[in-house]
Structure 1
């Protein structure tokens, strides 16, 4: 999906179902989901109730809820601990109905879009970066193996920056 198609869909739909996708749904996509919810709640967007915001991944996660650094970053963003605790990694192959019903699938990398996401849903896929600062497809690094929080947080800040610009564009479009 091209950015213009995305903005047209968002502007002309009574229901907007967005799913943020990453590899395992423990770092980037749950952060994007919860941060977007917060930004949406604080925004000038009028019809907030028309949004359904979710996240998911494609790698099977066992005995993992959310990456500890993601939790720390979300808490620093003033996301409530109760909200964070509601998150369980969703392996999207089990949630095909959500993929079918989604307005847009917002991906973090080309590997998620071109390899992990089943072909039949790729027309709904768009890079988070193209909805943010520029129209460039920027791969957002998977921070799961980063051992130092400050380096990890840089990636979460990158995601936040794209989300802030995304919300601003929605406000400018009077969604």
Structure 2
């Protein structure tokens, strides 16, 4: 990737973040294909991270997730296991219900920021939401890079590590601007 392009994208995401953090609260939606591995891991872990880092921030940030390709009924065992290792309460994991965009066509109406795991998800988001939709790693680091779907491209840990590191940086970004 051209270094200048990464810097340009990063400054665009920083400007967007400054714009939305000027509000009293913000809503973020993490998106993947089936809402059973990457996006629920991101939703639940990010929710936990901001609660543990900054309780006033946690009161101002709403986090959710969804899938744009597959309908599912429960979080993957791999995601649940990894979240338990991160110190997430079993009850919170059990409360999670996957959301499939065609079943929840208004899921993006009330969110300020949509963060997708891979470039193909960008094409699945309706055009009226494009201005608030970003590739996760591009938004955080300015890198046009996917978080691989471990369902098709194991190991799971690789994707979980990528997401966790991005969320740690995102938490710092929010604390610095919100």
Q: Corresponding residue for 1:156?
A: 160
Q: Structure 1 pair 168/47, CA: closer, same or farther in 2 (3 Å)?
A: closer
Is the Cα–Cα contact under 8 Å of residues 131 and 165 in structure 1 kept in the other structure? Answer: no
Matches within 5 A, 1:110-125: 110-114=119-123, 116-125=124-133
Equivalenced residues, count: 168
Change (3 A) 1:10 1:43: farther
Q: Is the 8 A contact 1:18 1:104 kept in 2?
A: yes
Dislocated runs of 4+, deviation >2 Å = 44-48, 59-62, 93-98
TM-score of the aligned structures, taking structure 1 as reference length: 0.88
List alignment gaps of at least 5 residues for structure 2: 1-8
Correspondences of 1:137-156 after superposition (within 5 Å):
137-145=144-152, 151-156=155-160
1:58: Cα distance to partner?
1.4
Residue 53 (str. 1) matches residue 63 (str. 2): yes
Aligned counterparts of 2:25 and 2:102: Cα–Cα separation in 1: 23
Provide, for residues 56-92 of structure 1, a one-character-per-residue CA deviation record: whole Å limited to 9, x for no partner: 0112324x30111111111111111111111111012
**TM-score w.r.t. length of structure 2:** 0.86
Structure 1: give runs of 5+ residues left out of the alignment.
none
- Asked if the contact 1:35/1:79 (under 8 Å) is kept, the reply is yes
Partner of 1:167: 171
Q: Deviations over 1:25-63 (max 9, x none)?
A: 00000000001001100113634212111000112324x
Moved more, 121-130 or 22-31: 121-130
Deviation of 1:8 after TM superposition, in Å, equals 1.6
Correspondence for 1:127: 135
Calculate the aligned-residue CA RMSD, in Å: 1.8
CA positional deviation for 1:131: 3.7
From 106, 114, 136, give the equivalent of 2:143. Answer: 136
CA distance in 1, matches of 2:135, 2:152: 22
